[in-house]
C-alpha cells in the first residue's frame, strides 16, 4: 500500500500521488523528453482547473506536493510560481476547456509513438493484440503548426471532441492520450507506446504484415475496454514498486 504524507492545504492528495507515480514511471521507461512534456489532471467539475507538473522539472524528480494548480480560464496562472510554460498552457488548457471528458491528459514525445507520427502514413494497423486495442480509437493530426501555443492548442483540442477517440497521433510531434483517471490514461499511454514499437519493428523486417480483420480488431478492442481493473492494478503495482524502493514520489 502506498505510504502518503498529507501536506497542509494540499487538496486532491490521492490524485496527486497517482500523477506523481505516473511521472516517475514514464521517466523510468524513457518515454519522457528531458524537462519537456506534460501531464494534467482535472480537479473541477468542468475540467478547467487542473493539476500539472511544474515548469521544466524532470519527471524523475516530481513529487505529489510539487504539482501546481492551473486554471484554463485564467491566463494569470502563467505568472504564478513554477507556472507551466506557454506550450503546456496552450495544449492542456485548450484540451481541458473544450473536452470535459478528458479528465486526464498525457503528452509525450516517446520514441516509437513519435516515429509513427513522423511517417507519411501514421495509421496503426491491428497487427497484434496491443495494436488492436486502438482500432478506430485514435485520431491523426496532420496539420502540425509549430509549438503548441494557445492557437495550436485550441486546434488540437478540436480533434479530440469524440469521446471514443482517446489517442491523438500528433503528426510531426508526438502523442496525446486522454482518459477519465490517471490509471486509465497511463495504462493507455503505456500500451500505445508498446503497440507503436511492435509496428515499427515489424516494418523494419521488410516482411509482409499479418493484419487482423476489422471484425476481429474491433472485437479485441471492445474486449480489452471491458477487461476488469487492469488499469488500476497496473498503477497500483507500479506504486508498490516505488514504495518498496523508498521513492519520495508520494511526498
Q: Which three cell numbers stand for residue 79?
A: 505568472
Q: 10: pLDDT confidence band, cut at 50, 70 and 90?
A: confident
Q: Cell numbers 519493428 correspond to what residue? A: 201
Quickly state the pLDDT bin for 8 (edges 50, 70, 90): very low
Q: With a cut of 90, say whether residue 73 has pLDDT above it.
A: no
Q: Which residues pair with 42 in a beta bridge?
A: 50
- What proportion of the chain, given as a percentage, has pLDDT over 90? 75
Quote the cell numbers at residue 2: 502506498
Distances (CA, A) of 174 to 30, 59, 193: 14, 17, 11
- In this predicted model, what pLDDT tens digit does every residue of 149-180 receive, in sequence order? 667 778 888 999 999 999 999 999 999 999 99
Total residues belonging to the chain: 251
Residue 82 has a pLDDT of 74
- Stretch 127-134: mean pLDDT: 98
- Give pLDDT, residue 83: 79
What is the arithmetic mean of pLDDT over 92-110?
A: 94
pLDDT tens-digit series, residues 205-227: 999 999 999 999 999 999 999 88
The rounded distance, in Å, linking the Cα atoms of 90 and 228 is: 35
Interval 44-66 mean pLDDT? 95
Mean pLDDT of all residues in the chain? 92
Element (H, E) at 22: helix 13-28
Nearby residues of 125 by Cβ (< 8 Å), 6 or more positions away: 131, 199, 209, 211
Contact 59, 27 (CB under 8 A): yes
- Residue 40, helix vs strand vs coil: strand
Predicted pLDDT of residue 102:
95
Within a 13 Å sphere around the CA of 177, how many CA atoms are in the beta-carbon half? 21
pLDDT at residue number 86 = 80
d(CA 239, CA 218): 32
- Set out the domains of the chain in order of their start, with CATH numbers: 13-244 (3.40.225.10)
88 pLDDT exceeds 60? yes
Amino acid at each position: 500500500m502506498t505510504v502518503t504524507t498529507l501536506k497542509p492545504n494540499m487538496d486532491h492528495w490521492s490524485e496527486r500521488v497517482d500523477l506523481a507515480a505516473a511521472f516517475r514511471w514514464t521517466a523510468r521507461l524513457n518515454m519522457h523528453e528531458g524537462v519537456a512534456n506534460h501531464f494534467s489532471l482535472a480537479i473541477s467539475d468542468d475540467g478547467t482547473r487542473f493539476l500539472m507538473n511544474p515548469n521544466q522539472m524532470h519527471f524523475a524528480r516530481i513529487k505529489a506536493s510539487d504539482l501546481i494548480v492551473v486554471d484554463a480560464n485564467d491566463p494569470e496562472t502563467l505568472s504564478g510560481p513554477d507556472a507551466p510554460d506557454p506550450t503546456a498552457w496552450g495544449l492542456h488548457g485548450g484540451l481541458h476547456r473544450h473536452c470535459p471528458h478528458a479528465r486526464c491528459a498525457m503528452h509525450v514525445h516517446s520514441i516509437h509513438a513519435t516515429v509513427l507520427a513522423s511517417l507519411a502514413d501514421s495509421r496503426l494497423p491491428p497487427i497484434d493484440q496491443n495494436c488492436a486495442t486502438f482500432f478506430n480509437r485514435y485520431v491523426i493530426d496532420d496539420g502540425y503548426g509549430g509549438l503548441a501555443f494557445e492557437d495550436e492548442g485550441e486546434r488540437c483540442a478540436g480533434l479530440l471532441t469524440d469521446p471514443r477517440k482517446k489517442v491523438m497521433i500528433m503528426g510531426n510531434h508526438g502523442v496525446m492520450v486522454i482518459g477519465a483517471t490517471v490509471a486509465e490514461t497511463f495504462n493507455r499511454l503505456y500500451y500505445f507506446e508498446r503497440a507503436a514499437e511492435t509496428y515499427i519493428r515489424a516494418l523494419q523486417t521488410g516482411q509482409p504484415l499479418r493484419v487482423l480483420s476489422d471484425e476481429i480488431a474491433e472485437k479485441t478492442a471492445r474486449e480489452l475496454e471491458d477487461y476488469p481493473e487492469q488499469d488500476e492494478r497496473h498503477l497500483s503495482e507500479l506504486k508498490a514498486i516505488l514504495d518498496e524502493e523508498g521513492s519520495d514520489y508520494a511526498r
